[in-house]
């Protein structure tokens, strides 16, 4: 059987998915990546291990479907993580600085003090926050030995380098749009921003469409040399595309270590209210834009609380949360500060309104509710920003398969969410783009018509307003400026 091999390179795992030319998942494979924390707030990965995990995932996937012919390769990848390597030898010249890494917070603060915030946001649609890679590129490049033929790029560009045997240095527009060096209106690297961040634009990859020719494979175990690479896209964008969220206002929530909420736009809208504007995807030279809100810590708080309460697994935590009586505490998962729509790097994680009657179940419920509360705040900011309603809202990622968690989201939003049975939304989106590039799918309408197994979850509870009061109280305590608190 003919298929597209979709690589979905994530923060903790690399996955490979074989997708038939009819859009059906034929086989899967995965391999862990590994993350290191060399200093408080520093988060990095090994580029060589990252590539090895991709090869292991590919091998496992191909072993599960030995009679399948790979017609093309597609890439979906973690965004805002960047690295550098020797363009001649392919040797990594530094670690992968993860999107979670906060080591460049002082640089972002300095750039803000120097008056660059408004200009950076105007050009890129992104705030000056250490999540985004502008300052990370500079940190990496400053530590490269002199005289090396350096290349720098997003994770899709590193994978394209590895897949093509170093022959292609390219990325797609969606990944470029998250780099903080890309001009959304010009659809090109900004020499002004490269100057602000201290990055030589010559080391950056060529920006191509999301459905495009990224060269052919060379020396990849299990894949014949010369197999075309026909799509690359950031994982969150890929999920939006995979759901077929093509109408303005349609969106998705991806739950993972953090969460990404995206809604499709009919045209570019300048960002405000803590929401970013980004390229959702670019096809035939034409970008489709989207609003996005990035939540820094989402499902990552669940295993943490599972350990605190001494429970066997996250499923037990969610089951315990479902038994909680009303009136419990609030919880803010600001372990590394807060992302959208607050963008407060000084915020800290906390529980609020705990008393002697607070139960273990209420503590568990406070943590599970925090997923829904953060999504609520991002979606509210998006609605204010666009002046329009949210359309179909899809949910994906591991936690999206839990009915209780998604019911909480629907209740807080007072809006139906659409649960999707296929967990590979990002891989499918990348595969669909490759199919579009190859002419397997003639247009977006054909992709929209592909069968999808979904379950709508309408809002049911009527206590959302009361729960939001508890959340807002906890949020105010979490983000309270220490200097102001001292003076009170």
337 forms beta bridges with 335
Whether the bond between 57 and the residue before it is cis, its omega within 30 degrees of 0, is: no
- Looking at the chain, the whole-number percentage of residues with pLDDT higher than 90 is 81
Distance CA 453, CA 464 (A): 28
Give the SS3 label for residue 3.
Answer: strand
92 DSSP 8-state letter:
B
Strand blocks (E) in 160-210: 170-172, 182-183, 188-189, 206-208
Give the SS3 label for residue 367.
Answer: helix
Amino acid 487: pLDDT: 31
pTM: 0.89
324 DSSP 8-state letter:
P
The number of residues making up the chain comes to: 488
Token couple for 9: 């390179």
Burial of 369 (0-12, 13-18, 19+ CB in 10 A): buried
Token couple for 201: 């634009």
Distance CA 474, CA 347 (A): 11
Amino acid 57: pLDDT: 97
Smallest Cα–Cα separation from 372: which of 345, 343, 333, 346? 333
Residue ranges of the chain whose pLDDT lies below 70 = 480-488
CA dist list (Å): 132 to 30, 135, 241, 256? 27, 8, 22, 18
Over the stretch 212-260, which tens digit does the pLDDT of each residue have? 999 999 999 999 999 999 999 999 999 999 999 999 999 999 888 889 9
Token couple for 60: 């496992």
């Amino acid at each position: 059987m003919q298929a597209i091999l979709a690589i979905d390179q994530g923060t903790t795992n690399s996955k490979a998915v074989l997708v038939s030319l009819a859009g059906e998942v034929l086989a899967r494979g995965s391999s862990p990546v590994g993350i290191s924390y060399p200093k408080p707030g520093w988060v990095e990965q090994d580029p060589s291990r990252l590539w090895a995990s991709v090869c292991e995932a590919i091998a496992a996937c191909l072993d599960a479907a030995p009679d399948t012919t790979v017609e093309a390769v597609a890439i979906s990848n973690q965004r805002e993580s960047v690295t550098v390597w020797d363009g001649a030898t392919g040797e990594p010249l530094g670690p992968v600085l993860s999107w979670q890494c906060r080591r460049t917070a002082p640089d972002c603060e300095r750039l803000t003090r120097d008056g660059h915030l408004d200009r950076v946001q105007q050009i890129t649609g992104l705030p000056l926050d250490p999540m985004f890679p502008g300052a990370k590129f500079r940190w990496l490049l400053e530590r490269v030995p002199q005289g090396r033929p350096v290349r720098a790029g997003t994770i899709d560009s590193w994978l394209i380098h590895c897949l093509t045997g170093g022959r292609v240095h390219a990325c797609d527009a969606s990944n470029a749009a998250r780099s903080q060096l890309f001009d959304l209106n010009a659809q090109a690297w900004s020499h002004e921003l490269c100057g602000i961040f201290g990055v030589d634009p010559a080391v950056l990859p060529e920006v191509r469409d999301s459905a495009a020719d990224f060269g052919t494979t060379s020396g990849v175990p299990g894949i014949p040399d010369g197999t075309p690479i026909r799509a690359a896209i950031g994982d969150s964008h890929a999920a939006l595309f995979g759901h077929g969220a093509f109408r303005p206002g349609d969106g998705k929530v991806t739950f993972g270590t953090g969460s990404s909420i995206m809604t499709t736009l009919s045209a570019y809208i300048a960002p405000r209210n803590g929401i970013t504007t980004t390229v959702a995807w670019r096809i035939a030279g034409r970008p489709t834009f989207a609003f996005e809100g990035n939540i820094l810590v989402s499902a990552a708080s669940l295993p943490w609380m599972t350990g605190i309460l001494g429970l066997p697994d996250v499923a037990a935590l969610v089951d315990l949360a479902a038994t909680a009586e009303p009136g419990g505490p609030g919880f803010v998962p600001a372990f590394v500060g807060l992302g959208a729509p607050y963008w407060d790097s000084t915020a800290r994680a906390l529980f609020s309104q705990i008393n002697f009657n607070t139960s273990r179940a209420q503590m568990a419920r406070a943590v599970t509710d925090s997923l829904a509360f953060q999504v609520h705040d991002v979606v509210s900011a998006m609605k204010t920003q666009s002046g329009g309603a949210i359309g179909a809202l899809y949910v994906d990622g591991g936690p999206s398969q839990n009915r209780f968690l998604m019911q909480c989201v629907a209740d807080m939003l007072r809006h139906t969410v659409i649960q999707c049975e296929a967990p590979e939304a990002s891989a499918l989106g990348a595969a669909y783009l490759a199919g579009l590039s190859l002419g397997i799918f003639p247009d977006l309408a054909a992709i929209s018509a592909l069968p999808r197994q979904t379950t709508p979850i309408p809002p049911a509870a009527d206590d959302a307003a009361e729960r939001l009061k508890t959340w807002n109280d906890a949020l105010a305590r979490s983000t309270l400026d220490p200097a102001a608190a001292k003076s009170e």
